[in-house]
Structure 1
């Protein structure tokens, strides 16, 4: 009898786990360009928050659409898409903004030292804050 109960519980857990995994895999894509930002701030504020308390900053910023204003420190590419690194101050790190495919063409008009506004989804901090699916905001 106990074996049957354990077997049923394991089966329920497997089905539940499969359902959750399927829901996560089919999670709808967020269109950053058409979405309103959850937070609007300056690049230095975002960097300082992560550098001073990464755990608290993760709670506040992860998976949020963030609109950041800052100066371009570096322009580059990664996996065929444009990247913009923002840094306004004395911080060692920066904010790496991975542009969406549609935004790549706009990189031609950008210059280092120029102040811009970028909107993207925050995915975390690894010496730099990472924003993905970024679009340039006029």
Structure 2
């Protein structure tokens, strides 16, 4: 076998090994417990929404995959298949902050009302006309 073929085979083996290691690290990444973690950022829901509306690229680098604690007014409450979703927004606002509650928080939804001020903590996953927070817990 020529030296060139040996180098190609070695490069392929190293590449496959590298891919396997990266996939293993990402797959076995520990899950974040939002309830136990302290927030990376605390702000009002309208400020979070305005930041994304004004500069999505900068906001992604600032908020994406961070634990965010937001304070806002409930504009919508949805419950389906034991999953709760709370939307925080101000009157007249086109968008909002959509908070997908953790399964443990589902029981707390019954005591909430539209127009109520609430504090929620969750992980920001991005912006699609609304800011999305997942694994949310109700603080008060």
Matched, 1:92 2:94: yes
Deviates more, 1:81-90 or 1:106-115: 81-90
CA distance in 1, matches of 2:79, 2:11: 49
Unaligned segments of structure 2, at least 5 residues: none
Structure 1 unaligned segments of length 5 or more: list them. none
Match of residue 66 from structure 2: 64
Deviations 1:39-76 (A, max 9, x none): 00000100000000100000000000000000001000
Compute the TM-score of the two structures, normalised by the length of structure 2.
0.95
Deviations 1:82-103 (A, max 9, x none): 0000002543111110000100
- Provide the secondary structure at the position in 1 that maps to 2:78: strand
Tell me the TM-score normalized by structure 1: 0.96
1:137–1:26: structure 2 CA closer, same or farther, 3 Å change rule?
Answer: same
1:76 is matched with: 78
Aligned residue pairs total 138
Find the aligned partners of 1:4 and 1:99 in 2 and give their Cα distance. 54
For the residue of structure 1 that corresponds to 2:98, the secondary structure is strand
Change (3 A) 1:46 1:103: same
Distance 2:81 2:12 in 1: 42
1:127 match: 129
